[in-house]
Amino acid sequence: LARLRRTEPSVRSFIHVADAAAEREAEELDRRIASGEKDAVGPLAGVLVGVKDNLCTANMPSTGGSRILDGYRPAYDATAVRRLREAGAIVVGKTNLDEFGMGSTTEGSAFQVTTNPWDDSRVPGGSSGGSASAVSARQCVVSLGSDTGGSVRQPASFCGVVGLKPTYGRVSRFGLMAYASSLDVVGCFGSSVFDTATILSVVAGHDKMDSTSSSQDVPDYASELVSLDLLESKPLNGLRIGIIQETLGEGVDTGVVSSIKDAASHLERLGSVVEEVSLPSFSLGLPAYYILASSEASSNLSRYDGISVKGFIFWSTIFRYGRQVSADDLNEIYGESRANGLGHEVKMRILMGTYALSAGYYDAYYKRAQQVRTLVKESFKGALERYDILISPAAPSAAYKIGEKINDPLAMYAGDIMTVNVNLAGLPALVVPCGFVEGGAVGLPVGLQMIGSPFSEGNLLRVGHIFE
Ligand code: GLN
């Protein structure tokens, strides 16, 4: 907590810090342990976690990075948050993000700019930039983020931490503010693969509040990492790895390419076979992603209509979200609340999505993007029949300067090329730090992305752990 207080003025990872409450919870825990109640405390007892502010928390504000939710306090915890708390973790605050997860730098937050702990003139990545920088600056041990098109993996890469995007449906989305529901997943950050594996086991699993959550068994991912593999000289013997050709070409920084090639050689030395594999549909993923994500967002965000109701039902207070406006008629309420409550990027996405879904354009954009999604899925499926794991960079560059892409949305979108395909296909992917490029005072981290078949998180974590 002392470290959090000392570093927060320059990093600004948190929209809301609950340090005093965290201290009280920790003291209560100490008391219970001292009085012999050891069994009463869970496996994550006392572990400080940061939670992305688009996940609902009952006793803290939850803004999604948007003014339109200023002052909103949900009546419930998101399932992933509830499970962490039940395991004894202490939520130390709500981390900064691009408004509703739309962005790749965290500059799109309505509240503040978060800086990269490796160089405070650079972005931490996004949209889960606050969750990544908080772990990177050791302000908390682990954190939760969300990943619709790369929002866990790209900031993990920029901040030099481990980030996991689970299989679609592995973690309940209940209490996650919807951006693009067919792509959204709750993901985890840690400073090691072991920590990341530990929280995944806690948050994953079926939830009756999310019908898309899977009922597949949840392994104890962390205990599976503790094996004799590490003592063998070729612990990855028999593993087949495909390095995605299209991710090392034009537009990718040379420093990033050489870090990934070094990582591939390291994986080979550990016993695996590494070969180049081509995914011809790879570059189609980016435009398809932006059409689908914006389309779904235009529907999901219609709930932020500015209507607030306060009243009592069965003795509990009910209200809808966010800021209240005074206006004379419905259109004025919509107009006033959205014009002032939503930021520029969000409005642009709503317009793009509404356009793509409109009669006359639907076939040309939305339908075509869905067809591309099928192609992307199939090409991954084919490649993952031949390889256990596919690897690529997590982003085409290391962290760039704050402000550098703020007026160039297309350049920012292009930076998502490495990650969006994985969401279109619903696959799990793990990012682990694998090297450095020049920049900042001590160099800037580069992350290696490892992609696997659905529900192969255990395998990805095992390989990531050995690699690390
Ligand atoms: N940068 C991408 C976007 O803006 C991905 C964001 C995310 O994964 N939430 O849509």
CA of 377 to the centre of ligand 1 (A): 19
Atom of ligand 1 nearest to the CA of 412: 1
pTM above 0.80, yes or no: yes
Q: Residue 92 pLDDT more than 80?
A: yes
Percent of the residues in the chain that have a pLDDT greater than 70, as a whole number? 95
Annotated catalytic, 52?
yes
Mean pLDDT of the chain: 94
CA of 420 to the centre of ligand 1 (A): 8
Q: Residue 1 pLDDT more than 60?
A: yes
Q: Residue 289 pLDDT more than 80?
A: yes
Which pLDDT score is estimated for 227?
66
pLDDT tens digit string along 49-80? 999 999 999 989 999 999 999 888 898 999 99
The mean pLDDT value for 2-15 works out to 97
Diameter of the chain by CA atoms?
74
Weakest-pLDDT range from 21-25, 148-152, 220-224, 319-323: 319-323
The mean pLDDT value for 342-369 works out to 96
Weakest-pLDDT range from 20-24, 70-74, 106-110: 70-74
Annotated catalytic, 316?
no
Which pLDDT score is estimated for 312?
52
The mean pLDDT value for 216-236 works out to 85
Best mutation site among 98, 346, 408 for ligand 1, i.e. most ligand atoms within 8 A of its Cβ? Answer: 98
pLDDT tens digit string along 182-215? 999 999 999 999 999 999 999 999 999 999 999 9
Which pLDDT score is estimated for 321?
66
pLDDT tens digit string along 296-310? 999 999 988 877 655
Annotated catalytic, 127?
yes
Catalytic position from the list 13, 66, 151, 337: 151
- Domain 2-239+392-467: CATH architecture, name and number where available: Alpha-Beta Complex (3.90)
Q: Which residues line ligand 1 (CB under 6 A)?
A: 101-104, 127, 146-151, 179, 293, 416
Best mutation site among 151, 152, 182, 301 for ligand 1, i.e. most ligand atoms within 8 A of its Cβ? Answer: 151
Which pLDDT score is estimated for 324?
66
Q: Residue 403 pLDDT more than 70?
A: yes
Atom of ligand 1 nearest to the CA of 413: 1
Which pLDDT score is estimated for 305?
83
Which pLDDT score is estimated for 330?
84
Which pLDDT score is estimated for 326?
73
Which pLDDT score is estimated for 228?
54
The mean pLDDT value for 143-171 works out to 98
